[in-house]
Amino acid sequence: MFLGTHTPRLDDKGRIFLPAKFREELSEGLVVTRGQERCLYVWTAAEFRTFTEQLRKAPVTNKRARDFMRMLFAGASAEIADKQGRVTLPQMLRDYAGLRRECVVIGAFNRVEIWDAAAWNSYSEEQEPAFADWSEEVLPTTES
């Protein structure tokens, strides 16, 4: 499980240091792809396979499913962190997420997300007021 907020910088070669807490879990390889809200998703290779297995059930005749799969897979890049824990983010993905120098890397349960720092701060401030109300919609209810 990935947790926490980290603030690494993107270097001149388009590499980012993975937080030390995440490196072991991502050491066997990872997949970086477009995420929603203009961030990047970073999955372990195994978790990406699990996620994409669900897509196999979607009918190819469904236009939204085809569009989603095209965007997801066309933007996906299999990567391996170097010995220092750096991962190169392809230019196309850096452009998609608007990544410059200052980044925010968050643990998002079964994946990592990489955000431009200004975009994350804006998103976080916008979402904070409703956070308490979401539990009723997001969490399953249990009745006694």
Q: What pLDDT does residue 134 have? A: 85
Indicate the burial class of 125 (C-beta count within 10 angstroms; 0-12, 13-18, 19 or more).
exposed
Q: What pLDDT does residue 143 have? A: 61
- Domain range for 64 is 5-133
Q: What is the CATH number of the domain that holds 79?
A: 3.40.1550.20
Total domain count, the chain: 1
Distance CA 8, CA 3 (A): 15
pLDDT digits (tens, 9 = 90+) for 101-125: 999 999 999 999 999 999 999 999 9
Mean pLDDT of the chain: 94
In a domain, 105, yes or no: yes
In a domain, 116, yes or no: yes
pTM of the model: 0.92
Give the pLDDT means over successive 10-residue stretches in the chain (144 positions): 97 97 95 97 96 93 95 96 96 98 98 98 93 80 62
